[in-house]
Amino acid sequence: MPAHPRRKAFGQHFLRDKALCEKLTDLCLEWLAKSGARSLLEVGPGSGALTEPMIRKLVELPRLRFSVAEKDRKWAAHWSGVVRVHDIDFMDLPEKDWLDLPPLGVLSNLPYSAGTSILLRFVEHPEKIPFMILMFQAEVAQRLRAEPGTKAWGSLSLWVQSRWDISKVASVPPGAFQPPPDVDSEVVMLVPRDAPRLGALAGPESGPRFEVFDQLLRACFAHRRKMLRAGLKGTPQFLKALEKSGIDPTLRAEALSWEQWDLLLSASL
């Protein structure tokens, strides 16, 4: 592997824990085979800590297409000819270019600065993505897999968990990277649920309902320390839905159960 210094503009922390990389690529290979995936995508391969062992293991699945999205052009050039390369920031990559051969598995050590934004592009497609193995800053990962009523529970938890089951794969200390970041990291696995957790979101024509759910979450968590009746004063339609739902208006958004969210969303539609 040729020497390639870290480029500060991209905020890169290169993964160097070989045992962890073997664990993650083994898990990915298992799920690629189990899910019948036709393609695999890695965002931000960088020096290839995950890419190289994955390439070795994909000899077991010769028909599977492996693609990477890499905005650092030096690394994109390095991987060109080895795997299919999208030489562009993933956030600017058209959906038709990365989701053109489903089912699509996803394996990535995501950049801290854009990890949540990248994830939100993926979670819109549970019908085409059978699994994701992703590394985040530990704080973000804990929010993703938080339980109702806990400190980490919030709009991100609700939005993602409404359609995906999330489990912890591994804790990753700063020393697993070069250079070491100032925070811990965590790998999580996301698998789509058979049906949305909220009954109000079920059904083939649920797109508009998800839009309402998104608006509802934003309104409820905009003032998460306020009681719902106070926090929703600026959104009369959701304040009316709160009254209609029968939910205690003195509760805070973080205190609602899944059943109560279903009631509140149903009343908002």
Q: CB neighbours (10 Å) of residue 122? A: 23
The rounded distance, in Å, linking the Cα atoms of 27 and 30 is 5
Statement: residue 14 has pLDDT above 90: no
pLDDT at residue 219 in the model = 96
DSSP code for 131:
E
Note the pLDDT tens digit of each residue in 48-87: 999 999 999 999 999 999 999 999 999 999 999 999 999 9
CATH architecture of 8-192: 3-Layer(aba) Sandwich (3.40)
Query: Which secondary structure element, helix H or strand E, spans residue 168, and what is its range?
Result: strand 164-172
The pair of three-digit structure tokens given for residue 141, joined into one six-digit string: 């990962």
Residue extent(s) of CATH 1.10.8.100 domains in the chain: 199-268
Q: Residue-wise over 65-77: b if at least 16 C-beta within 10 A, else e?
A: bbbbbbbbeebbe
Which of 92, 81, 77, 22 shows the shortest CA–CA distance to 46?
77
**What pLDDT band is residue 259 in, cutting at 50, 70 and 90?**
very high
Note the pLDDT tens digit of each residue in 211-244: 999 999 999 999 888 999 999 999 999 999 999 9
CATH architecture of 199-268: Orthogonal Bundle (1.10)
The rounded distance, in Å, linking the Cα atoms of 89 and 217 is 28
Note the pLDDT tens digit of each residue in 198-214: 999 998 778 899 999 99
Instruction: Identify residue 221 by its one-letter amino acid code.
Output: F
Statement: residue 4 has pLDDT above 50: no
Q: Is 151 helix (H, G, I), strand (E, B) or coil?
A: coil
pLDDT at residue 12 in the model = 63
Q: CB neighbours (10 Å) of residue 95? A: 10
Statement: residue 11 has pLDDT above 80: no
Residue extent(s) of CATH 3.40.50.150 domains in the chain: 8-192
Residue 155 φ/ψ, nearest 5 degrees? -65, -35
